[in-house]
Amino acid sequence: MKYFSSSILLLCSFFCLAQPNFNPINKAEFAPNEPQYLSINGDKKFESIQDLTVHLESKYLDQTIGDQTLQYVYTKNSPIGTHYTFEHRFKNKPIYQSSIQASFNKKGQLILVANNLVTFNDFTNQNSATEKGKFWIKNTNGLTLGFKILEWDSISKNYTSHYYDLNNRLILTHNPRLYFHAPDSVISAMVYLPNPIVATNQIYGGPYADNGDKNNTELTNARSKVSFSLKYTNGKLILADSLIQIKDLNTPKIEVIQPADSFLNFTRDQSGFEDVNVFYHLSTYSNYLRKIGFSNLLDSLLVDPHGANGDDNSFIETEKYPYEIEYGTGNVDDGEDGQVVVHEFSHAMSVIAAPKTTAGKDRLAMEEGQADYVTMTYSRSLSPNKTNQVFSWDGHNEFWSGFKTNAPLLYKNRKGFEDIDREIWSTALMCIHDKLRNTKSDSLIFSSYFLQSSNSSMPQMARIILKIDSLLFSGKDVGKIWQCFTNQGILDTVPDNIGLTFANLDQIKILNTYEFSQGIGMAIISISNPNFWTDFEIFNSVGQKLITQNVSAEIGLNPDDFKPGVYFIKLKSKQGQLNAVYKLVRY
Ligand SMILES: [Zn+2]
């Protein structure tokens, strides 16, 4: 924490000098926008990214303000399909934290738009002679040009970004690190699965205490023998696989061990133990991700098992590439606790899936909560002990108390602190894991990593996970999943017949709409479960009902029967719990 207090002092002294008559009305505070997740029904496809750009620009940019464009930045693939992200630009400069993402299913149909574009009526564009204005940033005074200063702290070896407007007013300070407190050869090694407390089902204390990193019989016997592959380069074995490499990045300066033997038999008082333990858990979890179809969540990673300046803290550095993870050595070495090891890895997965989106109170609480979910599902895969104690070796001890994944907390009582609110989210996710078992909950939750936006909220991400269930698994477990979110007050009461409802919504397809709009072909309404619905109705744009007919599996609409205009197709479910409405255009 040394670093933060020194930087605050530094800024304060800067402001006190620069603005002696500081007027709070003129304060410029960052004004983040809330993303909207928009489900898209129908079968819209695009020939190219250019076509998609044109579509998104015309539909989602405020046409009354000129000079706005969307610029394609990257594509991510997930089990849902393909996700395209665009940066929002105004007068040829990017707008900070303003973007839009379009998601397509495997058939190439647009299914979801995450609209995280800032809206603005007002902007200040001083014709400053400086070259400072690199981007726009939305704040309490509207949209202004801003610039960024990186501040390097040589003690913590960490950058912090400070965002200013052109009047040198600080708008936002952002620390990009995600903290939590605190041809290969097969070899074997002794590791903790995942830590001595879980492995032995003991309580921290007595012989099961850190005791200054000393070794004893109990802690030696708590190790297990495992086998894994290591990279072989230049005639040497190194602690690395195709993506992960163990490396000394930061103080304490401790050389990574060089495996000289095919059995790495270290004890916890030796630095080689953490080197091997960290590598083993990261490599094992990476292989698990590959197995369940999430190799897209993997990327190059440098890892220091003795880093973080010796603090009782670990973090991932996301501003560097390859990404870097450092595990702290304060109190219990974080690298000794396999739970801490995979927790940090979840942050890497999240950053790889949705770069530059870790902003906002709910979003950061979910970031930690989902990492705790990864921690505990991994721990449970190794042992049935201590099923809800996050960091049971590194935490839940005399140094700090760790976290839980079975907290009776409600969303409406959230505190706005990620280290408290994380338990609301992790508890809901563990509930989903308990109800669905196997790898299905991982598929749902890891797919949701790709749809994260800055400032997304827990209710939004809960609905996204429900949506993913309907996309990937026909919504079979929507009721169970919904209940887990209801338990934490993230979503309201589960509606009746909800599983059926979601599944049925996905089973309605409106096909051939383009041909219909041009008058050259029939629009086809395909309904997989017609018995679920009562009447099929069509209204015009002023609400007059034009057609009522019985629902059948396929209904054709002849364009010759429709004058140019906008029409609405409406289906009502028999039990009245759902209306499905679709728009149809005839040019
Ligand atoms: Zn964390």
Query: Which residues are CB-contacts of 428 (< 8 A; sequence separation ≥ 6)?
Result: 369, 462, 484, 485, 487, 488, 490
Does 407 have pLDDT greater than 60? yes
DSSP per residue, 252-299 = S--PPP---SSEE---TTSHHHHHHHHHHHHHHHHHHHHHTT-GGG--
CA dihedral 240, 245, 250, 254 (to 10 degrees): 10
Region 499-511 average pLDDT? 67
Single-letter amino acid code for the residue at 415: K
Compute the average pLDDT of residues 162-186. 72
* Rounded distance between C-alpha atoms, residue 574 and residue 571, angstroms: 9
Among residues 278, 186, 185, 287, the alpha carbon closest in space to that of 227 is found at 186
Q: Per-residue confidence at 6, pLDDT binned at 50, 70, 90? A: very low
Give the C-alpha separation, 150 to 374, whole Å: 32
**Stretch 359-379: mean pLDDT:** 97
CATH, range 183-353: 3.10.170.10
Does position 490 have pLDDT exceeding 50, yes or no? yes
Q: Report residue 16's pLDDT band, with 50, 70 and 90 as the boundaries.
A: very low
Centre of ligand 1 to C-alpha 100, Å, is 26
Q: How far is the CA of 301 from the centre of ligand 1 (A)?
A: 16
pLDDT value of residue 579? 72
Cis peptide bond N-terminal to 194, omega within 30? yes
Q: Lowest-pLDDT range, 191-200, 246-255, 274-283, 447-456?
A: 246-255
Model confidence at 260: pLDDT above 50: yes
CA 344, distance to chain mean position in Å, is 13
Measured in Å, residue 128 CA sits from the centre of ligand 1 at 41
Distance from the CA of 316 to the center of ligand 1, in angstroms? 9
23 pLDDT more than 70: no
Task: Quickly state the pLDDT bin for 577 (edges 50, 70, 90).
Answer: low
Ligand 1 centroid, distance to 360 Cα (angstroms):
15
CA of 13 from ligand 1 middle (Å) equals 32
| Cis amide prior to 459 (ω within 30 degrees) | no
The per-residue pLDDT of the chain, averaged, comes to: 85
Architecture of domain 507-586: Sandwich (2.60)
Q: Summarize the confidence of residues 469-474 as an average pLDDT.
A: 85
Higher local confidence (pLDDT), 380 or 232 = 380
What is the pLDDT at residue 71? 95
Give 344 Cα–ligand 1 centroid separation in angstroms: 6
Q: Tens digit of pLDDT for each residue in 520-571? A: 999 999 887 787 788 899 998 888 899 898 888 899 999 999 999 989 888 8
CA of 78 to the centre of ligand 1 (A): 23
Chain segment 73-93, per-residue pLDDT in tens: 999 999 899 999 999 999 899
**Dihedral sign, Cα of residue 483, residue 487, residue 489, residue 492:** positive
Which pLDDT value is given to residue 129?
A: 45
Distance 363 CA to ligand 1 centre (A): 12
Q: With bands split at pLDDT 50, 70 and 90, how would you rate the model's confidence at 8?
A: very low
CA of residue 328 to ligand 1 center, whole Å = 13
Question: Scanning the structure block, which residue is given the tokens 């590791």?
Answer: 191
Tokens 């574009």 found at: 117
- In the prediction, which pLDDT does 173 show? 82
Rounded percentage of the chain residues whose pLDDT exceeds 90: 52
**Inter-CA distances, 324 with 107, 151, 252, 353, 366, Å:** 36, 19, 16, 16, 21
For residue 24, whether the previous peptide bond is cis, meaning omega lies within 30 degrees of 0, is: no
> What spacing in Å lies between the alpha carbon of 561 and ligand 1's midpoint?
59
Phi, psi (deg, nearest 5) at residue 358: -85, 75
For residue 243, the model assigns a pLDDT of 92
Rounded to the nearest whole angstrom, what is the distance from the C-alpha of residue 525 to the centroid of ligand 1? 47
Q: Tokens 């196997």 label which residue?
A: 438
Rounded to the nearest angstrom, the distance between the alpha carbon of 209 and the centre of ligand 1 is: 23
Distance in Å, CA 480 to ligand 1 centroid:
27
Question: Does position 401 have pLDDT exceeding 90, yes or no?
Answer: no
What is the tens place of the pLDDT at every residue in 294-346?
999 999 999 999 988 878 788 888 888 899 999 998 888 899 999 999 999 99
pLDDT-derived band at 501 (thresholds 50, 70, 90) equals: low
Look at residue 583 in the predicted model and tell me its pLDDT.
Answer: 83
Average pLDDT of the segment spanning 22-27: 48
CA of 343 to the centre of ligand 1 (A): 6
Is residue 19 pLDDT above 70, yes or no?
no
d(CA 342, ligand 1 centre) in Å: 10
pLDDT tier at 120, thresholds 50, 70, 90: confident
What phi and psi, each to the nearest 5 degrees, are found at residue 489?
A: 70, 20
Q: pLDDT at position 30, please?
A: 86
Structure tokens at 465: 């996970």
pLDDT of residue 267: 95
Its pTM stands at 0.73
In the reported structure, the alpha carbon of residue 112 is separated from the centroid of ligand 1 by a whole-number distance in angstroms of 28
| Ligand 1 mean position, distance from CA 277 (Å) | 19
Q: What is the pLDDT of residue 81?
A: 93
Distance 324 CA to ligand 1 centre (A): 14
pLDDT of residue 162: 83
CA 203 to ligand 1 center in whole angstroms: 23
Q: Is residue 414 scored above 50 in pLDDT?
A: yes
The per-residue pLDDT for 215 is 93
Question: Hey, where are the domains in the chain?
Answer: 2-178, 183-353, 361-502, 507-586
pLDDT above 50: residue 400: yes
* 145 — pLDDT class (breaks 50, 70, 90): confident
Q: Residue 528 has what pLDDT? A: 77
Residue 396 is classified by DSSP as S
Percent of the chain's residues with pLDDT above 70: 88
Quote the ligand 1 centre to 131 CA distance (angstroms).
37
Judge whether residue 446 has pLDDT over 90: yes
CA of 347 to the centre of ligand 1 (A): 7
**Per-residue confidence band for 110, with pLDDT thresholds at 50, 70 and 90:** very high
Please count the CA atoms within 13 angstroms of the CA of 76 that sit on its side-chain side: 29
Beta strand 224-233 with 158-165: parallel, antiparallel or unpaired?
unpaired
For the ranges 57-66, 128-137, 361-370, 448-457, the lowest mean pLDDT is seen at 128-137
- Which band of pLDDT confidence, cut at 50, 70 and 90, is reported for residue 179? low
Q: What is the mean pLDDT of residues 101-121?
A: 91
Q: Does domain 361-502 have CATH number 1.10.390.10?
A: yes
pLDDT one-digit tens code per residue, 309-323: 878 788 888 888 899
Q: How far is the CA of 513 from the centre of ligand 1 (A)?
A: 46
- pLDDT band (50, 70, 90) for residue 181: very low
Place of tokens 């479910």: 573
